[in-house]
């Protein structure tokens, strides 16, 4: 029954439906986490395009996936780009989690945990950039960032 408020983690390991159902849940969880990684970066890229980027580059370093460009973004635009995946996917995953049967709750929940932990860097730069002057310009190549601000003369 969907919409459970309390689902013990032991339901993830429940084998009452057999080894096949148990294995299916774990395979679906792994595939969903990989799909999440791709969607996360695609949402960054779509948001970059929304703010005028012509060419977004995507890649994987072996440690993390990325979306980047050679363009410069104002502070508000970049914070929107940074937070778009956690907000969009957070809402979508939460809705899915509310709708799945209890045997699947933790499968979806672990994808949500991946969403939150996968956005740690995005939340970090948002916190840092929020404290910077409003005139900053951010260039994010995907593997490195450069932040510019006007120099004020005394």
Res. 102 pLDDT band, cuts 50 70 90: confident
**pLDDT at residue 141 tops 90:** yes
Average pLDDT (81-109) is: 94
Tell me if the pTM is above 0.75: yes
* The predicted structure's pLDDT at residue 1: 47
Cα(147)–Cα(71) distance, integer angstroms:
12
Q: Provide the CA 98 distance to its chain's centre, in angstroms.
A: 19
- Select from 96, 135, 100 the least CA-distant residue to 115: 96
Average pLDDT (122-136) is: 95
- Per-residue CA distances from 24 to 39, 85, 107, 121 (Å): 22, 27, 10, 31
Query: If 0-12 CB within 10 Å is exposed, 13-18 middle and 19+ buried, where does residue 147 land?
Result: middle
């Amino acid at each position: 029954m969907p919409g459970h408020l309390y689902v013990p983690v032991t339901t993830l390991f429940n084998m009452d439906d057999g080894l096949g159902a148990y294995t299916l849940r774990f395979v679906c969880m792994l595939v969903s986490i990989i799909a999440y990684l791709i969607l996360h970066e695609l949402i960054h890229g779509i948001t970059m395009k929304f703010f005028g980027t012509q060419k977004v580059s995507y890649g994987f370093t072996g440690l993390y996936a990325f979306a980047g460009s050679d363009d410069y973004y104002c502070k508000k635009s970049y914070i929107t780009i940074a937070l778009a995946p956690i907000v969009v996917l957070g809402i979508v995953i939460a809705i899915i989690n509310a709708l799945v049967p209890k045997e699947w709750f933790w499968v979806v929940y672990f994808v949500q945990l991946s969403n939150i932990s996968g956005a740690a860097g995005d939340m970090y730069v948002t916190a840092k950039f929020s404290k910077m002057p409003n005139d900053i310009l951010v260039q994010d190549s995907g593997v490195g960032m450069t932040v510019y601000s006007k120099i004020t003369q005394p």
